[in-house]
Amino acid sequence: MTSSTAASFTADVYRARMERAARAAAEAGLAGLLVAPGPDLVWLTGYTPPAVTERLTLLVLAAGQDPVLVVPALEAPDARQAAGAPALTLRDWTDGKDPYAATAALLDARGRFGISDNAWALHLLALRQALPGSSYASLTEALPMLRAVKDAAELELMTAAGAAADATFEEIRNVPFAGRRESDVAADLDRLLRRHGHEQVDFTIVASGPHGADPHHEAGDRVIERGDMVVLDFGGLKDGYGSDTSRTVHVGEPTDEERRVHDVVRAAQEAGFRAVRPGAACQDVDRAARAVIADAGYGEYFIHRTGHGIGVTTHEPPYMIEGEERPLVPGMCFSVEPGIYLPGRFGVRIEDIVTVTEDGGRRLNTTTRELVIVE
């Protein structure tokens, strides 16, 4: 298991992010944010603990207060090495001491706090016991757009991650498909992503023939045959930032129907991309892509949202889904990935990561969206 390598920014960048987060929390009516080890902590401080254990590590952010990182004493030397450490006050605690009482002393006793979705229940329950008047909200629900808008340096890393995924596709289209198991091709994808600089691979979907009709199918023992459509969907983290792309290939010559379905998905993906511009609502991207598929008569076979945000994780807000009315803002990065899934037969999905620019969108995946024939 490779641990993720955080991209390193200057302490000033982390300081600004923490200030922005504390302000956003105050605007959302929260007394502060409690950030556990995970993607939010990495984004806010550059710090990943050597291991996540039952010992409390927690970043406390509150408007008008200096950020404090509560950290086990034995991990304090590591925490001091984090790129964001100069912007933090470290409060270390030794075994046998009560870290919750120490944390509670930093907090408004009757406050409502945003807490990381992945914080352990163990820690939340102990905090509630230490501060009976406090209450809590999911950080992702309270501040869904906290990490959504990427700055120039982050966009460069996102672009590089996309290029690495594209280089992976350019190589995988030349490996043999017919006669090999899905899991063999998936292993190729994993190896190629790592060779192109990914330190973490999150998924390597190879869904052949009827498996392609199941968007959640990963890769199994099925032997790929001539005549199969194969959905490939792969990505992970390169230098701490995410990639995620899908292409659907065909083994040998496709039928007219297979070409037609692929053309519909390609047109839908293009329509979704063209709907990307500042001020458009997230749901507009979904509507644009879905309309193309519905008009072609396949509406009931497009069974998931059109896209999801991506950054220091491969799935996060904003979501391109009906009902999501938040506006697109330059610097947001998300997938546009419509699909058609014909039960028992085959599926097609085409996915690019797109970033919002001042006057539209820019694709971070640029491999051909034509149907690629593999052998």
Q: How many CA atoms within 13 Å lie on the side-chain side of 20?
A: 15
Q: Between 188 and 244, whose beta carbon lies closer to Zn ion?
A: 244
210 lines the binding site for Zn ion (CB under 5 A): no
Q: How many CA atoms within 13 Å lie on the side-chain side of 201?
A: 21
Q: Between 316 and 351, whose beta carbon lies closer to Zn ion?
A: 351
Query: Per CB under 5 A, which region of 90-98, 170-178, 240-248, 354-362 contacts Zn ion?
Result: 240-248
CB of 110 to Zn ion, least distance (A): 41
234, 226, 281, 282: which is closest to 255 by C-alpha?
A: 226
Kindly provide the residue ranges of all beta strands, DSSP E only, lying in the chain, ordered along the sequence: 32-35, 58-61, 68-72, 89-93, 112-115, 135-138, 198-208, 229-238, 241-242, 245-251, 307-309, 316-320, 333-336, 339-342, 346-349, 352-357, 360-363, 372-374
- Measured in residues, the chain has a length of 375
227 lines the binding site for Zn ion (CB under 5 A): yes
Q: Between 47 and 346, whose beta carbon lies closer to Zn ion?
A: 346
Query: Per CB under 5 A, which region of 31-39, 161-169, 229-237, 264-272 contacts Zn ion?
Result: 229-237
CB of 198 to Zn ion, least distance (A): 14
Give the integer Cα–Cα distance in Å for 219 and 366. 24
CB of 336 to Zn ion, least distance (A): 9
Q: Between 92 and 233, whose beta carbon lies closer to Zn ion?
A: 233
Q: Between 200 and 335, whose beta carbon lies closer to Zn ion?
A: 335
The count of other CB atoms within 10 Å of the CB of residue 275 is 24
CB of 225 to Zn ion, least distance (A): 9
Phi then psi for 66, rounded to 5 degrees? -70, 140
- Residues in contact with Zn ion, shown as a per-residue x/- string from 302 to 341 under the rule CB under 5 A: ---------------------------------x------
Give the integer Cα–Cα distance in Å for 332 and 346. 32
Q: Between 134 and 246, whose beta carbon lies closer to Zn ion?
A: 246
Q: Between 154 and 258, whose beta carbon lies closer to Zn ion?
A: 258
CB of 349 to Zn ion, least distance (A): 8
Asked whether 348 and 265 are in contact (CB, 8 A), the reply is yes
CB of 353 to Zn ion, least distance (A): 8
Give the integer Cα–Cα distance in Å for 319 and 225. 35
Q: Between 134 and 248, whose beta carbon lies closer to Zn ion?
A: 248
- Positions 245 through 304 that interact with Zn ion (CB under 5 A): 246, 258
CB of 279 to Zn ion, least distance (A): 24
Own/partner pairs, 9-16, CB within 8 angstroms, 24+ separation: 9/46, 9/83, 9/84, 9/153, 10/83, 11/83, 11/84, 11/85, 11/86, 11/87, 12/87, 13/151, 13/153, 14/44, 14/45, 14/46, 14/83, 14/84, 14/87, 15/84, 15/87
- How many residues contact Zn ion, by CB under 5 A? 7
CB of 291 to Zn ion, least distance (A): 20
- Positions 356 through 375 that interact with Zn ion (CB under 5 A): none
CB of 180 to Zn ion, least distance (A): 17
244 lines the binding site for Zn ion (CB under 5 A): yes
Positions touching Zn ion (CB under 5 A) are 227, 233, 244, 246, 258, 335, 351
